């Protein structure tokens, strides 16, 4: 989003709208970063503003951030939870309506960039874009990938994981899965390559990496320990 804003802030009004936390630390299904940072679901608007400000500060964002009200009006109107991309043309109609994240976020962002590039070069609104139902497709691929993993058919699991990655290239879980499956399939060099890609994409669960038996074959190597240290350093802000 930040890159899109920097490239097209003079072409379009681009905003992040901070809505309710989808997986806060006090949620039934919390995510790792929320637990690590103690991010509970805000109960007041002030708390929501504080969490949004923290996001902007820690991610060093310059894109303007709007904050949804405690009635979650924007989130409900756009069915935005957990995250979603929308692009509205000059006629006030939706030109792009992304599928819900995390599966639909990256494809919608890529489509928005193409739409804005076309508009910037011609000054004319391109036609609306109908996006593939990436969420539905990815869920089915994930099901098949999980079954292949359970069956220990790691080569087949890799094929499904690659399709998921191609559909949403910035999904760190898809990149991480590829590292796991390559390791289990005996290709340790590719496993290291995909671990590095996951870290570059923002993967930050060092404790999970260490405990993950999928990496049992490489866990005690100096290279793996170095990558774990890199994750810890990135999460603590050390460069």
Domains in the chain (CATH in brackets) are 2-122 (3.40.30.10), 134-236 (1.25.40.10)
Q: Please state whether the predicted TM-score (pTM) of the whole model is above 0.85.
A: no
Once rounded to an integer, what is the mean pLDDT over residues 117-136?
Answer: 84
Q: Where are the alpha helices (DSSP H) in the chain?
A: 2-8, 32-37, 45-58, 73-78, 105-122, 134-150, 154-167, 172-184, 188-200, 206-211, 222-236
Higher per-residue confidence, 117 vs 55: 117
Mean pLDDT of 221-235: 91
Output the pLDDT for position 167. 76
What average pLDDT score do residues 100-112 get? 81
Query: Has residue 239 got a pLDDT over 60?
Result: no
């Amino acid at each position: 989003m930040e890159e899109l804003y920097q490239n097209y802030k003079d072409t379009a009004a681009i905003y992040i709208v901070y809505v309710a936390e989808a997986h806060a630390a006090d949620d039934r299904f919390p995510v790792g970063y929320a637990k690590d940072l103690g991010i509970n679901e805000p109960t007041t608007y002030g708390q929501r503003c504080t969490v949004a400000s923290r996001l902007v500060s820690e991610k060093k964002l310059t894109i303007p951030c709007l904050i949804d009200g405690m009635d979650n009006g924007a989130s409900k109107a756009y069915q935005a939870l957990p995250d979603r991309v929308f692009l509205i043309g000059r006629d006030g109609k939706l030109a792009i309506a992304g599928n819900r994240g995390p599966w639909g976020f990256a494809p919608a962002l890529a489509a928005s960039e193409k739409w804005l590039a076309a508009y910037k070069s011609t000054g004319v609104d391109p036609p609306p874009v109908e996006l593939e139902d990436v969420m539905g497709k990815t869920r089915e691929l994930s099901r098949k990938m999980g079954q292949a993993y359970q069956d220990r058919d790691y080569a087949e699991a890799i094929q499904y994981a690659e399709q998921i990655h191609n559909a949403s290239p910035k999904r760190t879980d898809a990149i991480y899965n590829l590292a796991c499956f390559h390791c289990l399939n005996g290709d340790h060099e590719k496993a290291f390559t995909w671990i590095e890609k996951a870290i570059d994409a923002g993967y930050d669960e060092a404790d999970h990496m260490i405990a993950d038996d999928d990496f049992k074959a490489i866990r005690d190597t100096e290279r793996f320990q170095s990558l774990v240290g890199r994750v810890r350093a990135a999460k603590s802000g050390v460069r």
